[in-house]
């Protein structure tokens, strides 16, 4: 029997860094449009948005997604996304969930499809980019490494950094682990230049510039 695959886009209304960011205009479309559109082009069967905000709900419906109303207690500044994921799981029928954050507009359908395919081998999957070692300091200018034994970058193992774009997990494992990932975890590697997240006005300006340049390049072709 075929498995039912859904994408769930989390979009609460109380953003502080960029007010109204989930539906803010980004090159002619509300930001959430990009997450919905990439879902349409992927192998998911249904597209859902979980939100507590009536404007986000209206925009999401116009963009072609279904909406589940998120209880306000699961949409606070300190509410973990898992609360919204579990609320959805208890109210909607599905087998596999692709949890997408709309603040990452450069996801491709091929990224999502790869993550779905990887569930044949893994219990859950997340997207990330590779990071080379670099000297890091705290905001109080304290080194996070031994400055007397500074390593050569090429001698330090690369690490994966979650880019927060998307996660894939079965309903069974979501309920088992109560987390967006658990069990045997796989990684969908995305390039650094597609791993931007919009959390600040500066991030928003950068993403707009990248999209504008990409649009101009596309027109030239």
* Residues forming beta bridges with residue 127, ordered by sequence position: 188
Alpha carbon distance 12, 25 (integer Å) = 16
Residues 6+ apart with CB under 8 A from 160: 128, 129, 130, 131, 187, 189
Q: Residue 171's CB: how many other CB atoms inside 10 A?
A: 20
Catalytic residue among 150, 153, 176, 208: 150
C-alpha R_g of the chain: 19
The token pair that represents 26 in the structure block: 């980004």
150 annotated active-site: yes
HSE-up of 66 (CA within 13 Å, CB side)? 10
122-132 as b/e, with b when 16 or more CB fall inside 10 Å?
bbbbbbbbeee
Distance CA 122, CA 94 (A): 18
Which residues are known to be catalytic? 150
């Amino acid at each position: 029997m075929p498995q039912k695959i859904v994408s769930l886009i989390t979009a609460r209304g109380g953003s502080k860094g960029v007010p109204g960011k989930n539906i803010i205009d980004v090159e002619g479309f509300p930001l959430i449009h990009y997450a919905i559109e990439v879902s349409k082009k992927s192998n998911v069967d249904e597209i859902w948005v979980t939100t507590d905000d009536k404007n986000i709900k209206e925009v999401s419906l116009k963009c072609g997604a279904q909406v589940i109303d998120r209880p306000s207690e699961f949409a606070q500044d300190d509410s973990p996304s898992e609360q919204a994921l579990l609320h959805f799981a208890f109210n909607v029928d599905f087998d596999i969930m692709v949890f997408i954050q709309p603040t990452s507009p450069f996801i491709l359908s091929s990224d999502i499809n790869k993550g779905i395919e990887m569930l044949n081998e893994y219990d859950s999957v997340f997207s990330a980019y590779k990071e080379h070692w670099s000297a890091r300091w705290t905001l109080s200018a304290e080194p996070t490494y031994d400055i007397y034994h500074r390593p050569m970058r090429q001698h330090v193992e690369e690490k994966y950094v979650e880019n927060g774009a998307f996660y894939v997990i079965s309903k069974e494992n979501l309920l088992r682990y109560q987390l967006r990932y658990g069990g045997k975890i796989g990684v969908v590697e995305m390039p650094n230049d597609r791993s931007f997240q919009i959390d600040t006005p500066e991030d928003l300006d950068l993403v707009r510039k990248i999209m504008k340049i990409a649009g101009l390049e596309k027109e030239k072709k």
